[in-house]
Amino acid sequence: MLASVEAARPPGLVRTGYAERMSQARIDVWQDRVLSIARLGRVAVHAHTGSALLVGIDGPFGFREALPGAPWRSVEHLVVAPACLHELDCGDTLMGVLLLTPGQVDHRQLCEHAELPAFENVHVLGSPRRRREALGAILAGELPEEELDAWMTRQVGPPPGRYGSDARVEEVAVLISRQPELPWRLDALAARTGVSPSRLQHLFQTELGVTPRQLRTWQRLREVTRRFAAGENLTLAAHESGFVDSAHLSKAFRHFFGIAPSRVLSGGTRVCVHAPRLPAPDPA
């Protein structure tokens, strides 16, 4: 554990102005990507539906893959692939976590963007100095929305715009993502695409690395965050997003993120919802 946060904080971060807001957290929600900046402490075993870029903003954090005999590693900066089971021990470190579009498309794009092999589950990266400075500025509210969008694109590339290359998978993924609160059934979704439920499940897992149910849960969690930002309490937001009750929300949140929703969705968290960017009109 660090002797003190002050001793570990990179000098460049002091200029961002976030040091005076240490107790605050921030979540930015786009159409599919989510950026969170918060003190997470101990994070139980979990796996994401998409790639995750993790940065220790004011120091290192502990990381361990959930494999027999896998050791704990002290790291500052890494990429975790979709469906990779892992746990964290962040201590007092302020964490920046960028969750990408569910599935493999955004992961492959990120790996190409950063010149990383896409087949590995974990990539430990070099010094995150510039990302630390930027995340500190984001937490302090110093980046206008357009600058934040541009920064995001520079880090991981633009949103891929689709979930998979198979048209049947894409159709179902778009349906689920547009209305995650609906009780989508696998047999009904399969009937829409003309394949059996088992075939659709296989196609989904092959293309995206997740099941239709997992994608629906991810999108419901994103919808909970959006509703929380609009002023709803967690119980109402959970119900309106398709969860039976707050207990089901908590279980899903822990499964995908390893922590309780109240750890990040609380009164001290600023939540910013970014509207989808519309394509520029064709010139007349």
In the chain (284 residues long), the average pLDDT of successive 10-residue segments reads 32 37 77 91 92 95 96 96 94 95 82 86 93 95 92 86 86 93 95 95 88 92 92 94 94 90 87 70 42
What predicted TM-score, i.e. pTM, was given to this entire model?
Answer: 0.83
Predicted local confidence at residue 10, as pLDDT: 35
Q: How many residues comprise the chain?
A: 284
Q: Where do the H-state alpha helices sit in the chain?
A: 5-8, 105-114, 129-139, 145-156, 167-178, 186-193, 197-207, 212-229, 234-240, 246-257
Predicted local confidence at residue 106, as pLDDT: 82
What domains are there in the chain, each with its CATH number?
A: 5-156 (2.60.120.10), 167-257 (1.10.10.60)
Sorted by sequence, the CB contacts under 8 Å of residue 229 that are 6+ apart come out as 27, 29, 271, 272, 273
The sheet that has 73-75: what strands, in order across it? 42-46, 86-89, 61-65, 73-75
Predicted local confidence at residue 19, as pLDDT: 41
